[in-house]
A and B are shown apart, each in its own frame.
Chain A
Amino acid sequence: MTEHKYGFLIDASCCIDCRACLVACSVENNVPMKNTRIWIHDTGVMGEYPNLSRYSAPFHCMHCVDPSCVSACTVGALQQSREGIVIYDQDRCIGCRYCMYACPFEVPNFEWQERLALIIKCDLCTARLDEGGQPACAATCPTRAIQFGRRDEMLNLAYKRIQENPQRYVAHVYGEHENGGTSTFYISPVPFEQLGFPVTGQTESPAHFNRLVTHGTPTVAAGVAIGMAGIYLAIKRQAADNAAAAAEHARPEHKAEEE
């Protein structure tokens, strides 16, 4: 059984768009900045001068409870670990990019510039976790906009902050129920669609519907095969019967004609 041990709490009211997390991620994973696994959503400048405001929040893989990318991946390069981390096996991936469409949070990116290109996706800094550390992005964030810890603790913290400062946040923890729930929670002073997060209101993971259909396929296929065989035999038999009947009928007349 998957445990969903870890979680993030990302607080858009703290993010100052310094992009230190992007740098940390690119250093940690030894990839160029354009291939980092974390990016920034922002609202753009809002309001009228002099009351201007702008909010931002970093986003990376949400490590969904029921991940659509895992259910979609052609070759099983995306898997969910026992601790609930959605990991990516870059030795398997064929670069079909189905996961990019499957992910309801529009997270995975692709190495568009490479000759042999792979998917770009956060693996929750598994190597650092194994050593008892924090993910690089969370460890680096100067304003603690990205917090990392146990999933249930992060969720509680999210609700606590909203309760203590109801005028500061919209009353919603993004990621708790979206698309079947995730391990990354967001709280924000502005509605999430303004920040650029996909908001559909769907609380069931697309993976659920996918399984519903793909698991039915073998049954349907067996039905088609049996049905086809049945039709073939039925028509064949009927044709044989008809032919026999016709032959019996026709014989005397034919003879007459021949003579």
Chain B
Amino acid sequence: MLVKIIREIRGLPRFSYLLALLTIFGLGAGFYRLYAGLGDTTNMSKVFPWGVWISFDLTTVALSGGAFTLAALVYIFHMHDLHPATRPTVLFGLLGYASVLVILFFDLGRWDRFWHFLVYPNINSALFEVSWCIAIYSTILVYEFSPVIVERFGNNKLLDFIKKLTVPMVIAGVTLSSMHQSSLGTLFIVMSPRLHPLWYSLLLPVFFLLSSIPAGISLIIIGSIVSDYLFGHSLSQRVIEKLGWLAPWVLGFYLALKLGELLVTEELELLFHSGIYSVLFLAELVIGVVIPMILFSIKKVRWSRTGSLVAALFVAAGIVFNRFNATWFAIKPLNGVIYTPSWLELALLVGVASGVLLVFTLISHYFPVFVETMPTKKHLQTEAASLEPAPTPTGD
């Protein structure tokens, strides 16, 4: 038995050992925070009650937007050629949300009551809405991913049943996603006195929803190219090209809306006269919107692997920047207090992120996550012996 376990562990990719170590370390830091309270372990304070954990949560939810975007494209807009990307993307989305829930748990003052949102509703609260949507949507993601697990155990009846419900479930998932992606923007509506006017807008929910679409797309592209290195599997360049083609449309609309809003509320001059805030705002738009919009509009870039990767990285950096601005950099400091996270706050983040990657590795090691992706050369060499005939596309 022991020998078998050791053999299994040795069969895992090397980097998973490092991930495991980081996970244990980070969760240890998290449990210490539960024991010691938030005051001594974090740098949050009365004037900065939310720290980098919330910034991470908002960023991760946006980057996990690939799951609902792709589900909508494949099942609702019938772009079936994008289907190969669904499994890894749904799994990534699922794990992204899981990491958000874990971090939130450590963030709550009364973590022992995390379930209270289920029984004590406040329908006016954006955070209440976000909690519910994320809870239900995570369940839907589990459902969308379940064929992978069921397939492994070969229960065909169950598989057929699951597939029948796919379209209604996808519609529910897309609806819930648009709700919580936008509600995360709504979160700041009530914070009007604290958020800098360049970011504050009654359209925040729309901005958050719109920006999560290219964010999700870019993460599918990045994920695909990274998994080429790590797992020897990747999407075909045709799928990547098609995804990249979509990006400029959404980015352009987003940019127009953002600038249009400033124009209508007569805040356009803030764009150049708010000191560091102008720099942050412009940098966010140039890096995350303008540059990738140009890059993704060039056919040659979309057809090149490196080109797509670079453009996608710009989008992702932009979204990280945007969410960190809204939750941290663009929150007006009070009494000159500026927040910077403590090492423990960062340790928990690193730990949870590593944990998520570790689980991703393990699941894709044992379950058919990459069935429709293209095994790349490296993969063919190492696992040539174990290649089975490709199963038919699933989930339609």
Task: Give the interface of A toward B (CB within 8 A).
Answer: 68, 70-77, 92-98, 100-102, 104, 106, 109-119, 179, 196, 198, 200, 202, 206-207, 209-215, 217, 220-221, 224-225, 228-229, 231-232, 235-236, 239
Whether B175 and A228, one on each chain, are in contact in the complex, defined by CB atoms closer than 8 angstroms, is yes
Whether B110 and A76, one on each chain, are in contact in the complex, defined by CB atoms closer than 8 angstroms, is no
Whether A113 and B186, one on each chain, are in contact in the complex, defined by CB atoms closer than 8 angstroms, is no
Q: For residue A98, which residues in chain B have a CB less than 8 angstroms away from its CB?
A: 125, 127, 187
From B44, B45, B107, B124, contact of A211 by CB (8 A): B124
Minimum-distance CB pairs A-B, first 6: A95-B109, A112-B39, A117-B109, A76-B122, A97-B49, A75-B120
Whether A102 and B191, one on each chain, are in contact in the complex, defined by CB atoms closer than 8 angstroms, is yes
How far is the CB of B230 from the nearest CB of chain A, in Å?
34
Known A207-B124, A209-B189, A224-B174; 10 more pairs at CB < 8 Å: A76-B121, A76-B125, A95-B109, A95-B110, A112-B44, A206-B189, A207-B190, A209-B192, A214-B124, A235-B78
Choose, from B29-37, B215-223, B316-324, the stretch at the interface: B29-37
Given contacts A94-B113, A224-B174, A228-B175, contact A109 B46 (CB under 8 A): yes
Whether B49 and A214, one on each chain, are in contact in the complex, defined by CB atoms closer than 8 angstroms, is no
| Distance in angstroms between the alpha carbons of A100 and B36 in the assembled complex | 21
Whether A112 and B45, one on each chain, are in contact in the complex, defined by CB atoms closer than 8 angstroms, is yes
B367 CB–A CB distance under 8 Å:
no
Whether B75 and A72, one on each chain, are in contact in the complex, defined by CB atoms closer than 8 angstroms, is no
How far is the CB of B308 from the nearest CB of chain A, in Å?
26
From A200, A213, A225, A229, contact of B202 by CB (8 A): A213
Given contacts A106-B47, A209-B189, contact A74 B128 (CB under 8 A): yes
Q: For residue B40, which residues in chain A have a CB less than 8 angstroms away from its CB?
A: 113
Whether A72 and B126, one on each chain, are in contact in the complex, defined by CB atoms closer than 8 angstroms, is yes
Closest chain B residue to A95, Cβ basis: B109
Whether B77 and A114, one on each chain, are in contact in the complex, defined by CB atoms closer than 8 angstroms, is no
B334 CB–A CB distance under 8 Å:
yes
| Distance in angstroms between the alpha carbons of A100 and B109 in the assembled complex | 13
Q: For residue B113, which residues in chain A have a CB less than 8 angstroms away from its CB?
A: 92-95
| Distance in angstroms between the alpha carbons of A221 and B176 in the assembled complex | 8
How far is the CB of A67 from the nearest CB of chain B, in Å?
11
**9 A/B residue pairs, CB under 8 Å, sorted by A:** A74-B122, A76-B122, A93-B109, A111-B109, A114-B109, A206-B189, A211-B124, A224-B174, A232-B171
Q: For residue A100, which residues in chain B have a CB less than 8 angstroms away from its CB?
A: 46, 49
| Distance in angstroms between the alpha carbons of A216 and B335 in the assembled complex | 36
Given contacts A224-B175, A225-B171, A235-B78, contact A104 B109 (CB under 8 A): no
Whether B127 and A72, one on each chain, are in contact in the complex, defined by CB atoms closer than 8 angstroms, is yes
Closest chain A residue to B104, Cβ basis: A96
Q: How large is the interface on B (under 10, 10 to 19, 20 to 34, 35 or more residues)?
A: 35 or more
Closest chain B residue to A216, Cβ basis: B205
| Distance in angstroms between the alpha carbons of A231 and B72 in the assembled complex | 10
Closest chain B residue to A214, Cβ basis: B124
Whether A94 and B110, one on each chain, are in contact in the complex, defined by CB atoms closer than 8 angstroms, is yes
Q: For residue A106, which residues in chain B have a CB less than 8 angstroms away from its CB?
A: 46-47, 334
B300 CB–A CB distance under 8 Å:
no
Closest chain B residue to A98, Cβ basis: B127
B10 CB–A CB distance under 8 Å:
no
B364 CB–A CB distance under 8 Å:
no
Main secondary structure of the interface of B (DSSP, over half): helix
How far is the CB of A89 from the nearest CB of chain B, in Å?
9
Q: For residue B126, which residues in chain A have a CB less than 8 angstroms away from its CB?
A: 72, 210, 213-214
| Distance in angstroms between the alpha carbons of A111 and B40 in the assembled complex | 11
Q: For residue B121, which residues in chain A have a CB less than 8 angstroms away from its CB?
A: 75-76
Whether A221 and B112, one on each chain, are in contact in the complex, defined by CB atoms closer than 8 angstroms, is no
Whether B190 and A94, one on each chain, are in contact in the complex, defined by CB atoms closer than 8 angstroms, is no
| Distance in angstroms between the alpha carbons of A111 and B46 in the assembled complex | 10
Chain B residues 177-192 with CB under 8 Å of chain A are 178-179, 182-183, 186-187, 189-192
| Distance in angstroms between the alpha carbons of A201 and B72 in the assembled complex | 44
How far is the CB of A153 from the nearest CB of chain B, in Å?
29
Q: For residue A212, which residues in chain B have a CB less than 8 angstroms away from its CB?
A: 189, 202
Q: For residue B205, which residues in chain A have a CB less than 8 angstroms away from its CB?
A: 213, 217
| Distance in angstroms between the alpha carbons of A113 and B122 in the assembled complex | 28
Whether A225 and B172, one on each chain, are in contact in the complex, defined by CB atoms closer than 8 angstroms, is yes
Whether B76 and A231, one on each chain, are in contact in the complex, defined by CB atoms closer than 8 angstroms, is yes
Whether A93 and B110, one on each chain, are in contact in the complex, defined by CB atoms closer than 8 angstroms, is yes
Chain B residues 148-196 with CB under 8 Å of chain A are 167, 171-172, 174-175, 178-179, 182-183, 186-187, 189-194
Whether A68 and B190, one on each chain, are in contact in the complex, defined by CB atoms closer than 8 angstroms, is yes
| Distance in angstroms between the alpha carbons of A177 and B45 in the assembled complex | 28
How far is the CB of A92 from the nearest CB of chain B, in Å?
5
B117 CB–A CB distance under 8 Å:
yes
How far is the CB of B205 from the nearest CB of chain A, in Å?
6
Whether B189 and A213, one on each chain, are in contact in the complex, defined by CB atoms closer than 8 angstroms, is yes
B236 CB–A CB distance under 8 Å:
no
Given contacts A68-B190, A102-B191, A214-B124, contact A116 B109 (CB under 8 A): yes
How far is the CB of B267 from the nearest CB of chain A, in Å?
15
Whether A112 and B194, one on each chain, are in contact in the complex, defined by CB atoms closer than 8 angstroms, is no
Q: For residue A114, which residues in chain B have a CB less than 8 angstroms away from its CB?
A: 37, 109
| Distance in angstroms between the alpha carbons of A13 and B75 in the assembled complex | 68
Whether A224 and B178, one on each chain, are in contact in the complex, defined by CB atoms closer than 8 angstroms, is yes
Q: For residue B249, which residues in chain A have a CB less than 8 angstroms away from its CB?
A: none
Chain B residues 72-105 with CB under 8 Å of chain A are 72, 75-78
Whether A110 and B46, one on each chain, are in contact in the complex, defined by CB atoms closer than 8 angstroms, is yes
How far is the CB of B234 from the nearest CB of chain A, in Å?
28
Whether B76 and A94, one on each chain, are in contact in the complex, defined by CB atoms closer than 8 angstroms, is no
Q: For residue A117, which residues in chain B have a CB less than 8 angstroms away from its CB?
A: 37-38, 109-110
Whether A104 and B193, one on each chain, are in contact in the complex, defined by CB atoms closer than 8 angstroms, is yes
Q: Which of B122, B179, B205 has the most CB of A within 10 A?
A: B122
B114 CB–A CB distance under 8 Å:
yes
Whether A214 and B129, one on each chain, are in contact in the complex, defined by CB atoms closer than 8 angstroms, is yes
Chain B residues 18-70 with CB under 8 Å of chain A are 34-40, 44-47, 49-50
